[in-house]
Amino acid sequence: MIRLENVKRIYTRRGQTVTALQCEDLRISAGEYVAVVGPSGSGKSTLLSLLGGMLSPTSGRIWLDDTSVYEQSVISRSAIRRERMGFVFQTFNLIPYLTALENVQVPLALNNVSPVNQVGLATAMLQRFGLGDRLNHKPSEISVGQQQRVALARTLVNDPQIILADEPTGNLDPTSREVVLKAFDTCYDEGRTIITVTHDLTAAARAKRRLVLNDGQISEESFSRAKVA
């Protein structure tokens, strides 16, 4: 379970104090599919960065099960991200000089998987997303939708239990968007925790729970969604 306890994140800009996020109590259970929506500048990306162990709160605690994330060392936080989390970004963050296969191998290499197993696992994951014929293509040699699928394959290849996604469908055509959303549906049905920040209301509607952010304040809107067969 993820829990925010009296969390506040404050920035100072041009001599003015801005409260980007303020949350007394938020709990996300293992296996939930949560969409975070709200206008630009409302604190969505700040929340995702806090949850991902990438941005320390000004005050308060963020718990992952029984671990207070920001009371861990930088090395320990990196290990938590590497071993338990996967990240999907609107900008993909693919390494431009590596092939699709090599990009997906990166997190496996960081987890000390043997080179032979890296190739096998990365190939299987790319094939899952219909990219078996694009293994040796670099990002500039494939479409935007295919780049996002490579990024998603890289996210899932280490079998993360928590997936954090920042506008994962923002740059995609309808067909590629559906590929990503179906992958999230599958991850949810497999029991993974998914937290996605999105302006895409169609994408948000696939989640089971919706958090609405306005001026750093979180409100909640719950609705039911049948699991995908």
How does pLDDT run across 33-54, given as a tens digit for each residue?
A: 999 998 888 888 899 999 999 9
Task: Give domain 2-222's CATH number out of 3.40.50.300, 3.30.70.20, 3.40.630.30, 3.80.30.20.
Answer: 3.40.50.300
Mean pLDDT of 74-87: 91
Closest CA to 35 of 207, 227, 218, 222: 207
- pLDDT of residue 169 exceeding 90: no
Are 14 and 60 a contacting pair, CB within 8 Å? no
Domain ranges, ordered by start, for the chain = 2-222
SS3 state at 222: strand
Backbone angles phi, psi at 225, to 5 degrees: -145, 130
Cα–Cα distance between 172 and 179 in angstroms, integer? Answer: 10
Taking the C-alpha atoms of residue 222 and residue 32, their distance in angstroms, rounded to an integer, is 12
* CA separation for the pair 104, 152 (Å, rounded): 9
For residue 59, the SS3 value is: strand
Mean pLDDT in the chain? 90
Q: Please work out, in degrees rounded to the nearest 5, the angle formed at the alpha carbon of residue 38 by the alpha carbons of 59 and 199.
A: 125
Higher pLDDT, 32 or 91: 32
Q: 197 vs 12, 101, 202, 212, 229, CA distance in Å?
A: 24, 27, 12, 10, 25
CA 70 to chain centre: 19
What's the pLDDT at 179? Answer: 87
Length of the chain in terms of residues written: 229
Q: Which of 62-66, 73-77, 86-90, 133-137 has the lowest mean pLDDT?
A: 86-90
Amino acid at 189: D
Per-residue pLDDT of 89-142, as tens digits, reads 878 889 999 999 999 999 999 889 999 999 999 999 999 999 999 999 999 999
Closest by alpha carbon to 179, among 137, 223, 144? 144
Whether the CB-CB separation of 76 and 87 falls below 8 Å is answered with: no
C-alpha triplet 151, 129, 36: angle, nearest 5°: 50
Report whether 227 contacts 32 (CB < 8 A).
no
- Residue 220 burial by Cβ neighbours in a 10 Å radius (0-12, 13-18, 19+): exposed
